[in-house]
Amino acid sequence: MTGARAAGGLRIAVSAGHDLIAAAVLKLLYERDVAVADVIALSDEADPDLERSGPLWGDSTIELVDTATADLAGVDLLFLCPPCAHPLALLERAVESGARVIDLIGVARDGGEAAIVAPDLPAFPGSVVDLKPDPEARVYRCPDPLALILATVLAPLAVECGLSSLRVQWLLPASSLGEPGIRELAGQAENLFNQRDLPTALYGRQIAFNLLAGAPAPADSLQSSAHDLEQLLGDHDIPVDQRAVWVPVFFGVSATLWIETRQAVTQERLTALLREAPGLLLAEPGTPETPFPSPVEHALESDAVHLGLLGPDLAAVHGQVLWLVADDVRRGRALAAVRIAERLVEVLADPGAAA
């Protein structure tokens, strides 16, 4: 089944149509009323025996199509979503068939063939990030989701008072590992209550009601985050130390940030900067209407990065400590991809109109 809604709209394909990120991309496209004429949901696991459901387009379920045999002729735009067995091969097939590709996996990160596109971030001096898609390009790469979340927070501080250093302690949810991560956490919780053996295919150990450092090792995701953060910030590149712990939370990434600025900034000015910054929602201290943000209460299904101020960093000269939560699937990945698509539609319609 396809989702026909807009005559003359885009014919869209999504990879990993059975998983979280593709479903979030389609949900946002539908909610934001992007002109879509047809949707193809690809899956490496499009096997009727697996009883996998396709993603939703509005109230309709889209039938999964096997990635290896799918006909991409006539597809205008492929959202290359993880997990994908052979992402580079799929990307090349799509381009050869005439489609443009929004890369949410980072296939071209090492090769450098596709610049990052981040329409909602400031244009920092020295940044190699495109603020609008190049109409002549065929592949547009989304930022790493953790880097994008960090850059959204750091941008107003970088502009106002410069940055000296950053330390981050991430708390990673099961959604960072996609649908398999959700299933394993849920299966472990259920089996613990029923005194059965725990499924440990992904984590290798018990994650339910537990905390795990380095299992599965988050080194690759943190390396990707550091690489993309450097490109996003341009001349504001700073020493960054990122660490991660896996937590028994289904959705919503959290982090404590220790930020040192080059110039002093008062708590009052910091509050004003973060309150006014696009893409951020600040929990004001002492206001019951905006309690300290949590993944479940604030991040889930939100397009914003939610912040709480923890106060000055007493171990730094000009240091501040912040707490953030964000929906890593919707805010970190899907919204970034959909914003590229929206800007691409504008640029293709009138290349000179989009600033």
Q: Are residues 253 and 340 in the same domain?
A: no
Domain that holds residue 70: 10-142+333-349
Q: Are residues 103 and 151 in the same domain?
A: no
CA distances from 103 to 81, 95, 135, 351 (A): 7, 12, 16, 21
Beta bridge partners of 142: none
Type of residue found at 223? Q
**Is 14 strand, coil or helix?**
strand
Token pair for 125? 């001096």
Q: Are residues 217 and 316 in the same domain?
A: yes
Instruction: Report the 10 Å Cβ neighbour count for 216.
Output: 18
Flag whether 2 is in a domain: no
Q: Are residues 29 and 129 in the same domain?
A: yes
CA distances from 291 to 86, 129, 277, 286, 326 (A): 43, 35, 19, 8, 15
Q: Are residues 271 and 284 in the same domain?
A: yes
Q: Are residues 56 and 162 in the same domain?
A: no
The whole-angstrom separation of Cα 238 and Cα 241 is 10
What's residue 288's pLDDT? 62
What's residue 47's pLDDT? 56
Instruction: Report the 10 Å Cβ neighbour count for 163.
Output: 20
CATH number for the domain including 221?
A: 3.30.360.10
Helices (H) and strands (E) in the chain, counts: 7, 14
Q: Are residues 212 and 155 in the same domain?
A: yes
Per-chain mean pLDDT for the chain: 89
Q: Are residues 181 and 296 in the same domain?
A: yes
Three-class SS of 266-296 = CHHHHHHHHHHCCCEEEECCCCCCCCCCCHH
The string of pLDDT tens digits covering residues 111-165 is 556 789 999 988 887 777 888 899 999 999 999 999 999 999 999 999 899 999 9
Token pair for 233? 């910030």
Whole-prediction pTM value?
0.92
What's residue 217's pLDDT? 65
Q: Are residues 112 and 221 in the same domain?
A: no
What's residue 6's pLDDT? 46
The string of pLDDT tens digits covering residues 276-306 is 999 999 987 656 666 789 999 999 999 999 9
Which residues, 6+ apart, have CB-to-CB distance to 129 below 8 Å? 115, 116, 117, 118, 121, 143, 231, 232, 234
Number of domains in the chain: 2
Q: Are residues 152 and 107 in the same domain?
A: no
DSSP state for residue 50 in the 8-state scheme: G
Residues of the chain with pLDDT under 70: 1-8, 46-51, 108-113, 216-219, 235-237, 285-290, 351-355
